[in-house]
Amino acid sequence: MTGARGAGGMRRKGVEVDSGTRKIRIDVPEEACVAEFKSVSVSRDSEAAVRQALADPLGMPPLAQLVKPGMRITIAFDDPLRPPVTPRTVFPVLLEELARRGVGPATLTLISANGMHGRFTFEEFREYLGPATADAVGPARILNHDCTDEASLVSLGLSAYGGPVAHHRAVVESDLLVYVGNVAPNVWGGCGGMGAVVGLASAESIAHHHARGVIGAPESCHGDQRDMLYQRHKEAVAWQMQKASNRPIFYIESLTDGSRVLDVFAGHFSGIRDPGWEAADRAFDVPAPQADVLVVGLPQRLLYGETDNPLIALTGLGFAARMWKGAPVLRDGGVLIGVTESRGVVDRERHPSFEEVIRLYAEAGSIKDLVTYEAGYLTHRGYLASYQHGRGFHPAHPFWLFYENEYALTRAGRIIFAGAQESPLTRCLGIEVTSDFETAWAVAREVVGPHGRVIVAPTYWTRPRVKFRVTP
C-alpha cells in the first residue's frame, strides 16, 4: 500500500524487508528509495558460457593447451560460504575438459580456499560442489586450506607493499593451479576476484593486507574497485605469487544472480579484471540519493554466519554503508537501521573468539586501541585449536570485521537494530535496540528531522548485493 499517512501526516508506503527467518512490512516515507538487485537477462546457456571461457580465455592460452596427461593439477575454489551456483556450473564442464586431456578427477586435488574461515565437512562440500563432482574426486582429495599449517605453506617473498606473501604449496608445486571463484560486489576490494590471494594465504600474509591501515583506510572505504587501496594490495600479492612461482594461476570467475550464472571470465587475473568489473557494474550498480537514513534488511544468515551474532549483524549494515560510488551513500551523522531478529549471542563453536574480542572492543573504547590486541589473537593457542581441529573461524577474524565496520561506526550518528533482542554484546558495540521498526524510525526522525532522505535495501543479503551509485 502507498499513500497512507503516518505520524505527522507524512505519506507512507509499505516495503517488505528481510528480518531473520521471515519478511516483515515496514512503513517508510512515500518518496523513500527502494534499492535492490533487479533480474537481468542472460544471453547464453551457462554451460556454453563456461566452455567458451575455457576455450578463449583472457591473457592466457586455452585450457586445452595448458593441460597434458599426467599433470599434477590443483583446483582451488571460493569456500562454501558463497552461493553454490558457481561451482555447480563450472566444475562439471571443467572436469570433463580435464578428463578429455588425460587428467581424470581421481588424480586432482581440490582445495577450499577458506582463508581464516572455519573448516567444512565432506558433506558440505558435496552440497556446495555437487554430489557428482565431490564423489568423483573423493573425500581424501578435497582439502580445507589451513592458514596456520606451516607444512602446507611456502614463502613467496614480499609484495610491493612490503607484506609477506606466503601461500599454499600448491601455488608452486602444481603443474597447473586453477581457481574457481566469483565476481561480485565486496567490501574487500570493491569487487571479488583473485580469490587465491586471500583464500590460500598464511595468517601473516592475510594480516598484512587486512590491517586497519588498509581495509579501514579512507582509500578503501567505498565501492569503486578501480580506485581502492585494498584492491591494490591484492594485486601486488597476486603479481608476487606469479613471480615467485614462475607460473600464472588459471582463474575461472563467474558473475551470478545467486541462482544463475550470468557470465563467465577465464584466464589471467589481469585479463579478467576489466571485463569482469564492467559486467559487475552493469549488473549490480543501482542509482541512489545520499541518504539521511539507510535501512537494511538482515536475514538469519549472512556471509560469515548467523545474524544472532551482533558483530555479524553489524557487518551486514556496515557492508552496505561502504558500497558506494560517487559520494557516500550515508551522509555523515546519518542513521543506520538494521531490521533484524538478532538475539545478540555468539555461536562459540563456529566463532570461538568473537565474544571475547567484542568485549575487548568495549573495554578499549576505540578500534584504534583494539588493534593492540590483534597480534595475540593471531597466535592464540586456545582458540587456534578450534580453527585447526574443529569448525571455528581463526581467532583473529573478528578484528578484520571491526576494521571493516569502523567506517559505519564512526560515520553514522546512530546505529539501530530494529526488532532485535537486548543483549550485553550488542551494547558493547554501541548499538541501540528497539522492539520494532516504528520505534527505530521515531529515533531516526529525532536525528535527521521529518524530511530526511531514506534508502531501504530490503533484500540486500537475499538477492545479489548491489552498489549505490550516489548523486548527492
Predicted pLDDT of residue 8: 56
Cell 567506517 appears where?
Answer: 407
Residues 6+ apart with CB under 8 A from 464: 37, 184, 185, 256, 257, 258, 283, 284
Angle between helical axes of 310-322 and 397-411 (0-180°, round to 10)? 60
Q: Determine the pLDDT at residue 471.
A: 86
Contacts of 3 (CB under 8 A, 6+ apart): 11, 12, 13, 30
Enumerate long-range contacts of 48-54, CB under 8 Å, 24 or more apart: 49/261, 49/263, 49/264, 50/89, 50/90, 50/93, 50/94, 50/252, 50/254, 50/261, 50/264, 51/93, 51/97, 52/264, 53/252, 53/264, 53/265, 53/266, 53/267, 54/93, 54/94, 54/97, 54/252, 54/266
pLDDT for 4 equals: 59
DSSP labels for 412-472? -SEEEEETPPP-HHHHHTT-EEESSHHHHHHHHHHHH-TT--EEEETTTTTS---EEEEE-
Q: Quick check: 348 and 305 in contact, CB under 8 A?
A: no
- Ranges of the chain whose pLDDT falls below 70: 1-9
* Distance of alpha carbon 84 from alpha carbon 89, whole angstroms: 8
The CATH architecture to which 2-31+290-471 belongs is Alpha-Beta Complex (3.90)
Helices and strands counted in the chain (H then E): 19, 24
CATH of domain 46-281: 3.40.50.11440
Strand 291-299 to strand 11-20: parallel, antiparallel, or no bridges (unpaired)?
parallel
CA distance 340 to 433: 10
- All three cell numbers of 466: 548491489
Name residue 452's amino acid. Answer: G
List of residues 6+ apart from 92 with CB closer than 8 A: 47, 130, 132, 133
Q: Where are the alpha helices (DSSP H) in 294-435?
A: 310-322, 354-364, 367-370, 374-378, 381-389, 397-411, 424-428
Are the folds of 2-31+290-471 and 46-281 the same?
no
Q: What pLDDT, in 10s, does the model give residues 228-269?
A: 999 999 999 999 999 999 999 999 999 999 999 999 999 999
Spatial distance between the Cα atoms of 280 and 5, rounded to a whole number of angstroms:
38
User: Phi-psi region for residue 50, left (φ > 0), alpha (ψ -120 to 50) or beta?
Assistant: alpha
Among 256, 252, 303, CA closest to 280? 256
**Sign of the CA dihedral running 415, 420, 421, 424:** negative
* Residue ranges covered by each domain of the chain: 2-31+290-471, 46-281
> Cell digits for 378?
593471531
Q: What is the pLDDT of residue 1?
A: 45
Contact 13, 3 (CB under 8 A): yes
Asked whether 418 and 340 are in contact (CB, 8 A), the reply is yes
Per-position DSSP letters for 95-133, written without gaps between them: HHHHHHTT--GGG-EEEEE-TTSPP--HHHHHHHH-HHH
